[in-house]
Amino acid sequence: MIHIITDIQRPRKELIDKFKAMSAATVHEASGRKGAADCGIKPVARGIRICGPAFTVRCHPGDNLMLHKALEKAQPGDVIVASVGGYYEAGYWGALMAISGMAKNLGGLAIDGCIRDSEEIIGMGFPVFCRGLCIRGTTKTGLGLINHPTLFGGVVVNPGDLILGDDDGIVVVDRNMCEVALKKSIDRVEAEKKKSARLQAGTTSVELNKLESVFEWLGLTEDRSS
């Protein structure tokens, strides 16, 4: 088996840049409600965003050896997307690794596991999404895989897929569907602007979403005496 695949396809930079203006929730909805990673994976601090092609890593539980190799091989703008076999009682990523990531101008880290040195990482501005924080160290003895399909937060991520994350969470967009997803996201933003104007003018959300028929079908009753 080849452990490390280095030649991967990535979305065009102009596409990635346009996604940066979108919210993760908007892109998730516009993509047919696909690609939402587990809601337990969140930015290490509010206001952090990531947007870039996935550079996938599979680590052995409690071991971060392959993350160090990923730091060596990833390209500027790449988001390292890591799974750790479901073992969360370890800090797989720390401040020194974040310094290396910043030196290489990476797009950030998204890990279905825990990190440590969070205060330092937040202070230096390296974007990290993780499941939590853990002070326990890791071993560096287990070979894993780089740029193979990886299960991340319940979503299969292929190398080069677009990773978009904000305070609400992370959405994964199939690399081959980025143009379609972007167009649908832009259309959705424009549609929501019109809905916002109607709500501000006094239309109720029940009227806007045509929910009266749903309530009627469910048999909703209410006291109308007042």
Q: With contact defined as beta carbons under 8 Å apart, do 211 and 219 qualify?
A: no
Whether 111 shows a pLDDT value over 70: the answer reads yes
What is the mean pLDDT of the segment spanning 201-225? 92
31: how many CB neighbours lie within 10 A of its CB? 21
Amino acid 224: pLDDT: 76
State the architecture of 13-183 in CATH terms.
Answer: 3-Layer(bba) Sandwich (3.50)
Amino acid 31: pLDDT: 95
**Domain layout of the chain by residue ranges:** 13-183
Beta-bridge partner residues of 156? 151
CA angle (115 as vertex; 109, 117 as ends), nearest 5: 105
Amino acid 1: pLDDT: 85
Half-sphere exposure of 120 (CA within 13 A, CB side): 11
Q: pLDDT per residue over 158-199, tens digit each?
A: 999 999 999 999 999 999 999 999 999 999 999 999 999 999
Per-residue pLDDT band for 226 (boundaries 50, 70, 90) equals: low
